[in-house]
Chain A
Amino acid sequence: MIDFNREAVLLLRSAGAVAGSRRLIGLLEIRRRKLQFVLIALIVTLISYLVLMINGLGVGLNEQAGSALKNFNADAIAYSERAGLSVIRSELSAELVDEISQRFGAESSAPLGYVAANYATDDGEIDSAAFLGFEPGTIGAPKVVDGRPLTSDDRDGLLVDSSFLRYSGLDVGDTVRVSIRLVERDFLIVGETDEGNFFFQPAVYLLRSSWQELKYGSSGPDLPAASIMLLKGKDAAGSGGEGWTAVNKSTAFANIEGVSGQQSTVQALQLFGFLIGGLVIGVFFYVLTLQKIGQIGVLKAVGASSFFVFRQVLVQVLAISIVGVAIAAPLAWATNRLLQQVPNPVPIAFTTSTFVGTSALLVLMAAVGAAFSGRQVAKVDPIIALGQQQ
């Protein structure tokens, strides 16, 4: 006769077996059905990878549009009034530059000239770059990461962005031929910066007088002294005077020609990426729950609450989506590194916030999908346990 109520205490099995008894059923299922869950994790990984790459592309295009503008050591940008916030059309006279400088002080303002010009790469091809004329010692001077800064005597000197060196195949110490219209001029690269692009082109810095010569063919007080002015100060954005107006950097960035169209395209891509990615992940887990309705019925028939069952589903969804995102993130990062090695890199860039924000949102979308599964779990009638066949 079997005695179910024997009071004798059996020795416990191994500590591992006891720990196993505490493990969630949802996680045990993942462990036992590895192939099924590996395939699901693979799908989540691929979708997460796709969404991360789209977001990286968004950030990359943004940076290409004008990260140099965002990196200016300024709170606001002043334009000539008739330019309509266009750097290309903006021209500030020497009088206006003096007036603005006096208003904000020499330490909180700096004139900056802009012109797009061509240059010859080391293999003789012609490419274009954004040439920015600045005054050494002002807030317009870029940070130099290699080589040396420009001095007032470096009339033929250039500071170039690292992307310029990558595209052109040139290096610090090399001479580069710059051409605009019919004028050609040789410059010496004296230093490297890491300020990024301006107007979708690598930023190249030169003295303001050299910029005047490049743009207008000569330099002098009768020619426009700058395209824009960089301003610092709480009240700089929104300020203005006769013939000039200033806006903050975000507004200035949004007014770069082509940026607003590009931004809306990228935002639409990101939105659809999240929507479709999230929907696919959510539907996937919903279908997974539908497949387990029989088991859910059994669990409810033996007394499990809907919440208990939902917890098992949720833990599976979170575990799989976190694993998927955790694999996709370094994969996207490695792809980006690889793409940066090619001669004409795809403009993909990742920031910590891109990774963290995108990953968190994807996991959240998966949890939302699981929430829909929760409704299905609540609706399962335990009576179906009577009809279940093993």
Chain B
Amino acid sequence: MNVTLEVSALSKTYGSGEQAVHAVRNAAFSTQPGEFVAVVGPSGSGKTTLLAMIGGLLRPTAGAIVVNGRDIAGLGRGEQAAYRRDTVGYVFQANNLLPFLTARENLLVMAKITRANGKTAGARADRLLAELGLERRANAVATELSGGEKQRVAIGRALMNDLALVLVDEPTASLDSARGRQVVLSLIAEVKQRGKLGLMVTHDMDMAMLADRILSMHDGEMTEIAKPSPAAG
């Protein structure tokens, strides 16, 4: 896939005048194909806003988000929806599964949206569920799943359509550390093998350390944290 992302002078301001809240200020970074980047920072620092802008859910106040040479910052609603459908696999912090569907059907929703072939989609959903350790829970309705199982189904849904950008917001919040580490390593492997781009928002520095790079957000401003070398660790 060889996905590239270039973010420059990206800002998001809510409100105006004295009421203005600068959620993201002049953020800038770029990535190489196959990179997995962690974004860390305290609550309210602008991490999720940054992810939502890159994911086509929020329109920036200023700046550019160039994905594979195309600036998506100024897309209209319809174009944004098409961008999300064709480019972005998003794992929300609150897994946001459709509660009346089974784990398997929650994955197949993605195939319905893109009108993918039913047989191929069914096989891919089964494979993803098996790889996420959910094979036996495939036909359980979302409301019957535990928090961790829901989070893994949400990850499967984000990977279902094999999209270029994998954006994950606190993917390990509902998982124990061993399972969380396994899931993040799996996401990293997926990104690297397919030349995608992974962007993970997390509070967990142990998980962030698994990424290629770590970006830190504080009061909307972004800095890059130098990762300690393996030898130093």
Q: A33 contacts which chain B residues (CB < 8 A)?
A: 100
A1 pairs with B101, CB closer than 8 A? no
B78 pairs with A10, CB closer than 8 A? no
Also in contact, A295 and B57, with CB within 8 A (given A2-B132, A25-B112): no
Check: B185 CB closer than 8 A to any chain A CB.
Answer: yes
Number of interface residues of A (CB under 8 A): 40
Check: A342 CB closer than 8 A to any chain B CB.
Answer: no
Which residues, 85 to 107 on B, are CB-close (under 8 Å) to A?
A: 85-86, 88, 90, 92-101, 104-105
Min CB distance B139 to A, Å, is 8
Bound CA–CA A383/B159 (angstroms): 20
Min CB distance B87 to A, Å, is 9
Check: B213 CB closer than 8 A to any chain A CB.
Answer: no
B85 pairs with A303, CB closer than 8 A? yes
B100 pairs with A29, CB closer than 8 A? yes
B111 pairs with A298, CB closer than 8 A? no
A4 pairs with B110, CB closer than 8 A? no
Also in contact, A300 and B98, with CB within 8 A (given A5-B190, A17-B104, A383-B57): no
B123 pairs with A10, CB closer than 8 A? yes
Check: B182 CB closer than 8 A to any chain A CB.
Answer: yes
Check: A386 CB closer than 8 A to any chain B CB.
Answer: yes
Q: B113 contacts which chain A residues (CB < 8 A)?
A: 299, 302-305, 308
Option from B101, B118, B126, B194 in Cβ contact (under 8 Å) with A22: B118
Which residues, 345 to 390 on A, are CB-close (under 8 Å) to B?
A: 382-383, 385-390
Check: B119 CB closer than 8 A to any chain A CB.
Answer: yes
Which residues, 1 to 60 on A, are CB-close (under 8 Å) to B?
A: 1-6, 9-10, 12-13, 17-18, 20-22, 24-25, 28-29, 32-33
Also in contact, A304 and B85, with CB within 8 A (given A386-B92, A390-B99): yes
- In this complex, what residue of A is CB-closest to B99? A390
B189 pairs with A301, CB closer than 8 A? no
B94 pairs with A389, CB closer than 8 A? yes
Interface contact tally, CB-CB below 8 A: 132
Q: B130 contacts which chain A residues (CB < 8 A)?
A: 10
Min CB distance A273 to B, Å, is 34
A2 pairs with B186, CB closer than 8 A? yes
Bound CA–CA A386/B53 (angstroms): 12
Q: A300 contacts which chain B residues (CB < 8 A)?
A: 81
Option from B94, B108, B131 in Cβ contact (under 8 Å) with A4: B131
Option from B108, B131, B150 in Cβ contact (under 8 Å) with A390: B150
Check: B141 CB closer than 8 A to any chain A CB.
Answer: yes
A21 pairs with B111, CB closer than 8 A? yes
B127 pairs with A385, CB closer than 8 A? no
Check: B225 CB closer than 8 A to any chain A CB.
Answer: no
Min CB distance B12 to A, Å, is 11
16 intermolecular pairs with C-beta atoms under 8 Å apart: A5-B190, A21-B108, A25-B105, A32-B100, A32-B101, A298-B96, A299-B98, A301-B92, A303-B114, A382-B84, A383-B52, A383-B57, A383-B58, A386-B92, A390-B95, A390-B97
Chain B residues engaging chain A, CB cutoff 8 angstroms = 48, 52, 57-58, 78, 81-82, 84-86, 88, 90, 92-101, 104-105, 108-114, 118-119, 121-123, 125-128, 130-132, 141-142, 150, 157, 159, 169, 182-183, 185-186, 189-190, 193-194
10 new A-B contacts, CB < 8 A, other than A295-B98, A390-B96, are: A5-B190, A12-B126, A18-B122, A21-B122, A302-B84, A383-B57, A385-B57, A386-B92, A388-B92, A390-B94
Chain A residues engaging chain B, CB cutoff 8 angstroms = 1-6, 9-10, 12-13, 17-18, 20-22, 24-25, 28-29, 32-33, 295, 298-306, 308, 382-383, 385-390
